[in-house]
Structure 1
Amino acid sequence: MSTTAQVDAQREEPRRIAVVSWKTPIIFGIFTVLFALLPLFAPREGVTTFRLGKENAAIPVPDVVLPATPTAWVAVLLMALCAAAAAALVQRHRKIPLWLIVVYVVVLLIGFLAWAAAGATLPMIGLLAGALALATPLIYGALGGVIGERAGVVNIAIEAQLLAGAFTAAVAASLAGSPWAGLIAAMVAGMLVALVLGLFTITYYVNQVIVGVVLNVLVIGITTFLFRQVLAPNTETLNNPETFTVLPIPVLSEIPIIGPILFQQSFIVYLMYAVVALVAYSLYRTRWGLRLRAVGEHPQAADTVGIKVAATRYRAVLLAGAVAGMGGAFYTLVSVPRFNQEMTAGAGFIALAAVIFGKWDPIRATLAALLFGFATNLQGVLSVIGSPVPSQFMLMLPYVVTIFAVAGLVGRSRPPAADGEPYIKS
């Protein structure tokens, strides 16, 4: 090849510009310094025992005993190395791998637990199993948010769908004497809330955020009124639902560590595993998912190739409502065997934060919801064992992590291009 041809070929090759950001190394450094202040100014004596098995387990697992302050200092060192590795990668204009972030978070978590639970025993099986239970309705809500927003509809009404699902599940299960009836009723209730959301936002082009906020307030008001006027006077007949019991899966539930956590749960949790896998597969591996994402990214282009934008968004919103409704059923059919007013306690907004944290991806949103559930359960466990960490700090932690994540800890967080924008066919 001649020199001229080589030059022309080089000109025709697309240029690859590596976009790097110092946000992740900076955030790593900030968290490392802040964590180092704990063993520096508040060293704790004694050891922390991590109990990884149950007393009557078929396969016993020994406890892990770590010295509190030395473990914290080792964690500080490893976190500093992770921060240095992230800075070196950015310096070389290379992308920071996800595994490095995971390693940093795990090291930080182990070091913090060793310091916070000095002189006590942490029941890790109960801690993680409880975190999964608390995260289950958040995961359902987050999946509903991902489906709706991938289609271009901002689903601020997740809280309303969860609460409506919890209410109708309690009533239907009480009347029918079956939790299955309650689960189906919860899905229908979530779809009805979603239908109202779709009617105003898709058909009449009303601001999606405003409609979502109004629906949240409306459902809170309706369920509170019905609880006081109907359910409270008739608790035995209308607010005494049959619940899903814990259903251990043979063999799998006996696997050390992960068995009691993942496979000694109720049916709704097992259903959640299937829903997460199904949504993740359908969104990226099917024609339906391709059309859904096309409508959320560029509805005009999707309309040009024959995709019905309004119909696709309606189907997505209704499906999202059904999924969120299943999350609401968890409250009254698994967690608490009766409905209480405003019992979701803002879980819909936490699920919405998980959607943003997870960058509108079903798997990442699920992991974010698990983080929120873990932080919520951890504050209760630390309070029981007498840890000096204020419980309010643990409740605040997921939202702080979300702010850092949106700021760039896990990369650039970009919603679908047409998210929140009504499509008016020209």
Structure 2
Amino acid sequence: MTSLENASGPLPAPPAEPTIVRVRRPKLAITLAVATALLGALFLFAPRSGHTNYRLGGGGGALIPLGEVGVPTGPTVWVVFALLVALTAVAAWEAWTYRRSRLWLPLAFAVLALFGFLTWAGANGLVPVVSLLAGALSISVPIVFGALGGVIGERVGVVNVAIEGQLLLGAFTAAVLGSVTGNPFVGLLGAMLGGVLVSLVLAVFAITYLVQQVIVGVVLNVLVMGLTGFLHGILLVPNEQVLNRPATFPRLPIPGLVEIPVLGPVLFNQPFLVYLMYVTVALVAWGLYRTRWGLRLRAVGEHPQAADTVGIRVNPTRFWNVSLAGVIAGAGGAYFTLVSVPQFGREMTAGLGFIALAAVIFGRWDPVRATLAALLFGFATSLQQLLTLLNAPIPGQFMQMLPYVVTILAVVGFVGRSRGPAAAGKPYIKG
């Protein structure tokens, strides 16, 4: 025994090596494999021949005029299928070797799969690319506004199930005020007022009286459906020319940008409300992560007790941000009556508020991701309409289900279990 051991006892054992836990993530590989198998079965058991033509132009005035591009249907779909198999193998190899899949992989797979499916469906037909994308954007606009309202509400701690009611009352008030004044901007302000009225009722019951938030949201949706349906029957139908013929927003092409091939006519030949959507998405995304407002909002939604200890008034912060969410969602309702259909109809939102709520979850409570999720649903709906025009050999019932099936698969296959704001849905009682 050494003198050092006599003085201080046995030497301590060396620290153990840190344990490294590696986790395989096979979800993406499984999802891609299932999609590849379904497309392969479609191409094999329902083969189509001929040529598929893609129209890339969007009318006159383009900077680079694009015409039509044709591809042979049969060989093209099988080349695409081989590429999809290769991408699926890459995803499986990355999962097996404990690698995190990169973003380009699912994006490349989605683009190739869509191209192969459209080539198969459009055999001996014409696929208008610009019209398909423009239709997708048009359908997505109210969903994007609703999803942004949902993101703000849940980030501050209030589950906003009443998006459907906010969209519907916004569409109603926009139609009435836009008809009375003949000014679409007044109609837009009326839509925001309608959305904030619904959100104020939600805030009072959920924040002040501590009523369960999901129940309040569902009740508000039913209430607004009944109220607008009643007012439509006794007020708008007898006075249709006066109260249900709102002035609409015209298209405002942006010089220069509208001439960009393919995307120019889609993004920059739109009415005012679409440009307002672009600005709103950017402002909410910037404000949520780069401003004091966003920091306080996220703090209240994640840990209200900690926010209270540093001087943030939790319930007033929730109240006014839920109201802001209602203003944004109400603006989405204006799109129905001031752009899409210049007339209010009963239950014309057709459940898009619930799709906006799904987009919030799919987008992991992030404004940009929620916007992309809303665009996905809009694209699926536009694709379903195009497939009907192309007379694709797909049952009509399935084509009606397509947008909702795509939304469910996206939420389950690519999101799965996800954690929202920790205090969402939980009332805060000071002290």
Alpha-carbon deviation of 1:353? Answer: 1.2
Matched, 1:103 2:145: no
2:53 alignment partner, SS class: strand
Conserved in 1, the CA contact under 8 Å of 2:377 and 2:406?
A: no
Q: Which shows bigger deviation, 84-93 or 195-204?
A: 84-93
CA distance in 2, matches of 1:408, 1:379: 21
- Aligned residue in 1 for 2:190: 185
Matched, 1:407 2:412: yes
Superposed structure 1 runs of 4+ greater than 6 Å apart: none
- Aligned residue in 2 for 1:176: 181
How well do the aligned residues superpose, as a CA RMSD in angstroms? 1.9
Alpha-carbon deviation of 1:10? Answer: 6.8
1:106 alignment partner, SS class: helix
Matched, 1:117 2:122: yes
Bigger Rg over Cα: 2
- Aligned residue in 1 for 2:275: 270
Matched, 1:51 2:59: no
Matched, 1:82 2:121: no
What's the TM-score, normalizing by structure 1?
0.94
- Aligned residue in 1 for 2:351: 346
Alpha-carbon deviation of 1:216? Answer: 0.3
Q: Which amino acid aligns with 2:273?
A: I
Alpha-carbon deviation of 1:83? Answer: 1.5
Q: Unmatched 5+ residue regions in structure 1? A: none
- Return the match for 2:25 from 21, 26, 47: 21
Cα offsets for 1:213-245 (capped at 9, x unmatched): 000000000000001001111111111111101
Q: Which amino acid aligns with 1:337?
A: P
Q: Which amino acid aligns with 1:97?
A: R
2:70 alignment partner, SS class: strand
Conserved in 2, the CA contact under 8 Å of 1:18 and 1:94?
A: no
CA 1:377/1:403 → structure 2, altered by over 3 Å: closer, same or farther?
A: closer
What's the TM-score, normalizing by structure 2?
0.93
Q: State percent identity of aligned pairs.
A: 60
1:316-335 alignment runs, 5 A limit: 316-335=321-340
1:65 alignment partner, SS class: strand
CA distance in 2, matches of 1:402, 1:88: 27
CA distance in 1, matches of 2:58, 2:320: 45
1:385-396 alignment runs, 5 A limit: 385-396=390-401
2:238 alignment partner, SS class: helix
Cα offsets for 1:284-338 (capped at 9, x unmatched): 1111111111111121222222221111111221111000000000000001111
Alpha-carbon deviation of 1:187? Answer: 0.5
Alpha-carbon deviation of 1:55? Answer: 4.5
Q: Which amino acid aligns with 1:206?
A: V
CA distance in 2, matches of 1:124, 1:70: 21
Q: Which shows bigger deviation, 318-327 or 87-96?
A: 87-96
- Aligned residue in 2 for 1:286: 291
Matched, 1:228 2:228: no
Q: Which shows bigger deviation, 259-268 or 303-312?
A: 303-312
Conserved in 1, the CA contact under 8 Å of 2:164 and 2:349?
A: yes
- Aligned residue in 1 for 2:257: 252
CA distance in 1, matches of 2:32, 2:284: 32
1:233 alignment partner, SS class: coil
Matched, 1:416 2:421: yes
